[in-house]
Amino acid sequence: MVRIDRVHTGGGDSGESSLVDGSRRSKSDARFSVVGDCDELNSLLGVARMECARVPMRHRDGGDRKGAGRVHFICDSALSRVQHELFDLGAELACPPENLPDFMVLINDDQSNVLVSDMDAWLSQTEPLTSFILPAGGPPQAMLHHARTVTRRLERNIVRLRDIEGDGSVRPLVLTYVNRLSDWLFVLSRWITAVLGEEEMLWLPLGKRGKEDGIAGSIHRQNENDSDFDQI
């Protein structure tokens, strides 16, 4: 069991910190970069859980909001599980594989396969995509898209760590899990949109958008209307 009596040890004041095996490295080291990405991603999932829990149960007109209770339950359960797994992953990445403690239990194919099962279940309730979608929507969806991009950065930095330290520096399953997790976050965002009966924001390519005049005209019209109201 971990016991933390004091956070401010001062051990990192010189720009170095310790890995799980006790070895010291610069905080700019590639291994610390992936640990930091993992921590950032976990924090974003905490915010996503909060936003999912805040989805109103009722519409503004007072009617029940279909699917809100489902979003509360499924998202809290799924995101909580992944947050625990990211702590497992971060602990593993904070140490060269050959020096990992014997007692440490590592994520395995089970966790990766569960992500796939989740996605299959969510996709059964969403329509096939006919276009790319914009990383937008309600607060939960927007936050999950943000988390998805941080997951891809984590993946890139894990590959960078492997390039620097060699193939044996990261288990292949770690990359598999992180790659699945990015897709998982994307599909979860789509599922929330579908369950809440909201519309996805599809990307319209530049060639199909026509001439763009910007918002200057709208601003001028608003200013003209403000002048009209001032005269009433």
pLDDT at 231: 59
Is this structure's pTM higher than 0.75?
yes
Average pLDDT, the chain: 87
Note the pLDDT tens digit of each residue in 114-137: 999 999 999 999 999 888 999 999
Under 8 Å between Cβ of 30 and 160: yes
**Cα dihedral 50→51→57→59 (10° resolution):** 160
Question: What domains lie within the chain, and their CATH numbers?
Answer: 16-205 (1.20.1200.10)
Which segments of the chain does DSSP mark as H helices, in order? 30-53, 68-93, 109-123, 139-165, 172-195, 206-209, 216-230
* Size (the chain), residues: 232
Note the pLDDT tens digit of each residue in 151-199: 999 999 999 999 999 999 999 999 999 999 999 999 999 999 999 999 9
Note the pLDDT tens digit of each residue in 25-61: 666 688 889 999 999 999 999 999 999 999 988 777 7
